[in-house]
Structure 1
């Protein structure tokens, strides 16, 4: 009977983690889908994602930090909701795959001859420039520049650019409304002792009316892992409270997390530790911890747990860096790690960061490592 109970417990634990993997994959697929349009600034992509996350919090049993799951704020952003047409030498290029428009570009409609500046850069006029790139990487612009810049994937276009025909529409939104999505599970014994898990849910949105950036690894994977942890803690209540914050506008310059730390919904002093998850959909080559050298005792504890259970092949230490949403918390004195995985697909800030090619290689091991670390760090 004793052996049967041990086997039952082991099978139950494995089943729990397997179920989490299924749930996580579902969340990655959903958030990266066309419905959410890159969780950005056109077709209500970011708002739809925020609404979805708030509903998921409620379904999992999380309560709001305050009156609402959402913490609203505003910021300026340059968007491209309409026409996105570029022809070079009479050949129509595909947005996202053959070309991108620099994020601060104004709209333009022009036919012109391209004058070479050098072998990689061309100019049609003072207001229109073209460059050839090995890789097309997009980002978010919060202002509008003086000229339109087109970047062309030189692997897909091998001719010498001589003529351009372009029609691009932009729309500058001075006060774009976004929302951090915040939920809480109160601790069974120490409700004022809070562990915070964060991830940004926004991505790059769309470029034109037909092209969007799925953002599977960046950062649907982080959000899916956060939701899986919320699901786990909702059914396994810890003595300490666990807060979950899905940030908006990380891609626009960490604006959501900066706003939260300036307007916290609960005292920052109550946060005992914060774990930020961003780009966690791989893991073949291990993972990296930002702030590892800032908090060596916590990093040593993480490694002790990992060495004992052989979860992740390698954990690389990194120092302080303003490269994700942990940063402004650290600046306010909150102990925080930013975790990202390495290896696997290299798609980043492009249209190829898709759920069907994201392996989630080390999801189960990363999940177990985080749960075990949280238990130890909050003791």
Structure 2
């Protein structure tokens, strides 16, 4: 499948003026003099196949309720081609409004109010918010110093959560947000073995699965030995920047099919029909566009590492193969628990606050890499100025607000 000329280098196509015309959360939360590198939206044009599918649907007034298995079938084919996984069975897939609402419904299937839900902190802040709001108790199992799964900490959390016969679930973030860590088959197999030993049900949020470099090899949790009674959520939302077109898929392993069958029928009323059309087109025809994005992200990771080394060497950054997020350790800058406040107030750069990600987030920020090289370069320059660093002279003209 050929890529349209307009889809080459998606992260280099839009100017700052064009981006500021957007009305989404990323671009309207802060004043116009702020560079927004926080919420998980990409600064890209819509992928050609997705734009065509939506245009065709609107042209014929196809704006009713979603129906059929096209989304699940497209994801099954994508998983087979991209990850070598044949285990996505359409009959064990159900469309849900989005990944986090799907997580809530899955957790309701396998836990009761008051039960524990284990998470690997630092982790995506809505994990805390949604779990708490549904009456479950969050139990943290911190990542290791290498930002990978700490199996000893995980076993301790499993044991603590199931003492006395209590039910528990493990909300796995894979690939991990905010660190970009991609869990290996060996790690996930060990997770499945621990979950089986302690009777903990695994619910895997795999929304960032398409955004993994080929070298790292994303592994679906349901594909590993022992993952047969697992549940997972997938979506084209992050890979193709479709957050405003709501749709996701809830997936069940063969031993969890009965659990998924108990999901209330009304949950399937929430997804957008246009969302389903867009996600299906992305998975069917958007592979070349996605590959172009992955190439741009690899360039941006290298660019960020070089910029930080030059302008802010005190910040510790480990480029990771998953997601488009960078987890920055700013503790040596002496900016307190929430460095994002200083970067926003003094540098007019909006980043995600580390403490929101739970234990281990203090002194950190999350930076969204999915922007143009020019915006990324200017953001680091502003961050350096915010802490009094002296950046080297630049030949190019700085962006203005």
Task: Give the alignment's TM-score, normalised by structure 1.
Answer: 0.26
Q: Which has the larger radius of gyration?
A: 1
Task: Give the alignment's TM-score, normalised by structure 2.
Answer: 0.25
Which structure has the highest strand share of the two? 1
